[in-house]
Homo-oligomer: A and B are copies of this chain.
Amino acid sequence: MADKPPRRPRAETPKGFRDYFGAEVTERKAMLDAIAGVYHRYGFDPLETSAVETVEALGKFLPDVDRPNEGVFAWQDEDQDWLALRYDLTAPLARVAAQYRNDLPSPYRRYAMGPVWRNEKPGPGRFRQFYQCDADTVGSASVAADAEICAMLADALETVGIPRGDYVVKVNNRKVLNGVMEVAGLAGEDKHAERGIVLRAIDKIDRLGPEGVRALLGEGRKDESGDFTKGASLSAEQAEVVMGFTTARRDTGPETLARLRELVGGSAVGAEGVAELEAIAALLAAQGYGPERIVIDPGVVRGLGYYTGPVFEAELTFQITDEKGRPRNFGSVAGGGRYDGLVRRFTGQDVPATGVSIGVDRLLAALRAKGRVAGSSEGPVVVTVMDRDRMADYMVMVGELRQAGIRAEAYLGNPKNFGNQLKYADKRGAPVAVIQGGDEAVRGTVVLKDLVLGAKIAASATLEEWKDRPAQLEVPRGELVTAVKRMLGA
C-alpha cells in the first residue's frame, strides 16, 4: 500500500501581507531617497534599529498578560523574554535615546525609514507591514525644533513632487487644547477619560463633521453600522467651548491666534500654547514659509495620546477620484508633534523631543495619482536566441550592451518557440529585441526590432505617420551598440 503523499504547502503571502514587484519597489525607493536627501540637508543622521525589540522596551504592551500580542506580533524567546516586531519608529528611537544617552550628540537629530508591523485585522488597502519615514529631534525644548520639522516637511513634499499649493502643513498645539479643557472644567486628574474621548472626537472631525463630534462630546453616537460609541457626557456649555476650539481657525494666522487667546482665557497652559504657536509662526515667516505652505489650524489634534505640545499634519489639498468615481480630498500624508515624555519611561528624566512621520504608502499613492512617480524602470534590451549552439555569441552581444551601460539580457528560457521569446520581451517591457539567425550570422549582421515603435504602430489606426521610421532594422554586427543606442534615444 502506497503512502498518501504529504499535502503540499500553500504558496501564499500570509493574510494582511503583500509582495512588491519591480516598479513598486523602485518608485518607493526613489521617493525615500529624495526624502532622505532633504532630511540629510537639514542635518539629520540616519539610524537603523532592528525590527525586533523587547516588549518591555516597546512599552505600549505590558508583559503581565498571558500573551501580550494585542496590536503587535510578539513571541517568547528561549529565555522566556517577550520579543516583538516594532509597531512604529518612535518607540525604538526612545529606547535608543535612553540606551546611548551618554554617547549621542545632544540634541540628537535622526531620521529612520523602514517597515513597521501591526497585528491588526487586515482590510482593503490596510496591511500588517508598511513603511514609515520619520525624522525627530531629541533633546531640544525649543519651538525652533518644531518649526524646523514643519519647514522640512514642506520641503520634503515639494522635493518628491507635490507642488506648492497642492499641500498644506497644519500646525496646532496640545497645550492650547489643554487650556480649552481647563476652561471647560475638564482639567482634573479624575477627568482623564473624558479628555481622551474629547481628543479622539476632535481628531475625527474631518470624517464625522461637527454634528458627529458634538454627539461624541455629549452622550455618544451611533454609526451607520448601528454600533454605539459612548460620548464624554459634557454639558451643552462645555461642548460649546470645545466646539469653539475646533472652529477657531480664521482667515489669517494672527486672527486665529487672537481667537485662541480668547478661548483659553485665564488658563496658564493655554496661554503658553498660544505663545508657542506665535513663536513658530514668526520663525516660519522669517524663513519665508507663508500660509500657502504652513498654517495654524486648531482643527488638527492628532489622535496619539503621547503628544505634549505642538502637533502638525500635512494634508494634500487636491482631489482624487475614489473607487466609486466620486471626487474626494486626498487628505493627510504625514503627521507628528512634540512628545516630551517618551524617554522618561526608561530614565526617569524628561527629554524633550519632536518629530514627524511620513505615511510612505499614502504619499506614493498621491504621487501616482498625480502622475509624478520617479524611478519606474525601463525593460531590458532582450537578445533573442535563434540557435542555442551559439549561446556564447548572444552572451557576448549582451555583454557589450551592458558594458555600454545599456540594460540588457539574453533570453534564457527554452529557445525552441521564437514566439515565446517575443512574448517574453513584451512582458518585460523590452524597448528593443536583438535577433541573429543563421543568415544574419553568415552576413555578419544583427536585426533590431524597435518594440516601442512596433507597439505604437499596432495601436495606431493608420500606418501613415510611421512609414518613415522602420520598426525593424538590419545593421552590421560591429554596430550593435551604436544602433541600439540610437533606437533607444529616438
Residues of A within 8 A of B (CB): 8-15, 17-22, 24-26, 29, 40-43, 45-54, 56-57, 59, 69, 73-75, 77, 79, 81, 83, 85, 95-96, 98-100, 105-107, 109, 115, 117, 119, 128-129, 137, 139-142, 144-145, 147-148, 151, 155, 282-283, 286-288, 345-348, 377, 380, 382, 388, 391-393, 395-396, 399, 402, 405-410, 412-414, 424, 427-428
Are B11 and A25 touching (Cβ within 8 A)?
no
Known: A140-B412, A144-B391, A283-B392. 6 other contacts (CB 8 A): A19-B47, A21-B45, A43-B409, A144-B412, A155-B402, A286-B395
Are A410 and B144 touching (Cβ within 8 A)?
yes
A/B interface sample: 19 pairs, CB < 8 A = A8-B346, A11-B99, A13-B49, A13-B99, A14-B50, A14-B83, A22-B46, A22-B47, A41-B408, A46-B377, A51-B85, A51-B115, A52-B129, A75-B75, A109-B409, A142-B388, A142-B412, A148-B410, A286-B392
Give the residues in chain B near A19, CB-CB below 8 Å: 47-50, 96, 100
Are B9 and A283 touching (Cβ within 8 A)?
no
Give the residues in chain B near A99, CB-CB below 8 Å: 11-13
A59 contact from B9, B59, B412, Cβ within 8 A: B9
Are B151 and A399 touching (Cβ within 8 A)?
yes
Task: A99 to B105: give the CA distance in the assembly, Å.
Answer: 48
Q: Provided the pairs A51-B115, A142-B412, A392-B282 are in contact, do residues A105 and B20 lie with their beta carbons within 8 angstroms?
A: no
Are A142 and B391 touching (Cβ within 8 A)?
yes
Give the residues in chain B near A14, CB-CB below 8 Å: 50, 52-54, 77, 81, 83
Are A377 and B45 touching (Cβ within 8 A)?
yes
Task: A196 to B304: give the CA distance in the assembly, Å.
Answer: 55
Are B144 and A395 touching (Cβ within 8 A)?
yes
Task: A391 to B43: give the CA distance in the assembly, Å.
Answer: 17
Give the residues in chain B near A427, CB-CB below 8 Å: 105
Are A345 and B73 touching (Cβ within 8 A)?
no
Are A54 and B12 touching (Cβ within 8 A)?
yes
Give the residues in chain B near A29, CB-CB below 8 Å: 46
Chain B: minimal CB distance from A47 (Å): 6
Are A408 and B40 touching (Cβ within 8 A)?
no
Are A54 and B10 touching (Cβ within 8 A)?
yes
Task: A396 to B128: give the CA distance in the assembly, Å.
Answer: 42
Task: A29 to B287: give the CA distance in the assembly, Å.
Answer: 32
Chain B: minimal CB distance from A101 (Å): 8
Are B395 and A148 touching (Cβ within 8 A)?
yes
Give the residues in chain B near A395, CB-CB below 8 Å: 144, 147-148, 283, 286-287
Q: Provided the pairs A19-B47, A105-B427 are in contact, do residues A399 and B287 lie with their beta carbons within 8 angstroms?
A: yes
* Smallest CB gap from A415: residue in B: B142
* Smallest CB gap from A17: residue in B: B50
Are B140 and A413 touching (Cβ within 8 A)?
yes
Chain B: minimal CB distance from A213 (Å): 33
Are A424 and B105 touching (Cβ within 8 A)?
yes
Chain B: minimal CB distance from A354 (Å): 10
* Smallest CB gap from A96: residue in B: B19
Q: Provided the pairs A139-B413, A286-B392 are in contact, do residues A12 and B52 lie with their beta carbons within 8 angstroms?
A: no
Are B56 and A107 touching (Cβ within 8 A)?
no
* Smallest CB gap from A279: residue in B: B391
Give the residues in chain B near A45, CB-CB below 8 Å: 21-22, 377
Are B57 and A10 touching (Cβ within 8 A)?
yes
Task: A80 to B114: give the CA distance in the assembly, Å.
Answer: 28
Are A8 and B83 touching (Cβ within 8 A)?
no
* Smallest CB gap from A58: residue in B: B9
Are A46 and B25 touching (Cβ within 8 A)?
yes
Are A18 and B50 touching (Cβ within 8 A)?
yes
Are A402 and B41 touching (Cβ within 8 A)?
yes
Give the residues in chain B near A406, CB-CB below 8 Å: 41
* Smallest CB gap from A427: residue in B: B105
Task: A109 to B147: give the CA distance in the assembly, Å.
Answer: 46
Q: Provided the pairs A45-B377, A283-B392 are in contact, do residues A56 and B413 lie with their beta carbons within 8 angstroms?
A: no
Are B129 and A50 touching (Cβ within 8 A)?
yes
Q: Provided the pairs A8-B345, A25-B46, A41-B407 are in contact, do residues A74 and B73 lie with their beta carbons within 8 angstroms?
A: no
Are B345 and A9 touching (Cβ within 8 A)?
yes
